[in-house]
Amino acid sequence: MEPDGLFVYGTLREGGSNHAWLLRTHPEGLCRAWTGGRLFHLPAGYPALVAQPAPPDPPGARGWVRGDFVGYEDFADLDRALADLDPLEGVEEGLFTREVIPLMLEGGRSCWAWAYVFHVERLPRLSREAVEIPSGDWGAYL
C-alpha cells in the first residue's frame, strides 16, 4: 500500500517535546488516528510502538494505539519530511524502523501511513525493561 502520510504517537505529537521538529517539515494538517499495536514507555523517556493487527473492538479499546495522522501536500513533501525525521528517530542507528501501517482516522476512514516502530522481535525486551501503556495513549499516560 502507498502511504498517505505519517503516524506520530509520541514526542512528535502536538504538545510533545519534538512537535516543533515535525512542524518544520511543513505538514498540511493532522487529525486523530489509531493503529493496532502495543505501546511502551521506554526508560529513555519516549514511547515505542510495536505494530500488530487491529483488534475487533473499536479504537480506544485495548490493542489500539492513539496518535495523529500527519498529511502532506504530495509524496515529494512527505519524502522530504521523512528524510528530515529519520535522523531524529534513529533510523540509521536501528533505534526505530520506518514501516507502513494501517490507520483508522477520526471519523472512521482508513488509510496507510509511515510510522516509526520497534520490531516485534524486541517485544520480550520491552516487556522486561519498559512500561506497557494499556490505554495506548502516550499523551494521556504522561
> Domain limits of the chain?
5-141
Distance CA 98, CA 65 (A): 16
CB 41 within 8 A of CB 131: yes
CA angle 96, 103, 39 (to 5 degrees): 45
pTM assigned to the model: 0.95
- Per-residue pLDDT of 32-42, as tens digits, reads 999 999 999 99
- Residue 142: the pLDDT is 86
Distance CA 139, CA 69 (A): 15
Q: Which CATH architecture has domain 5-141?
A: Roll (3.10)
Q: Write the pLDDT tens digit of every residue in 77-91.
A: 999 999 999 999 999
Distance of CA 75 to the CA centre of its chain: 19
Judge whether 35 and 101 are in contact, CB under 8 Å: yes
Q: For residues 54-67, give the mean pLDDT.
A: 94
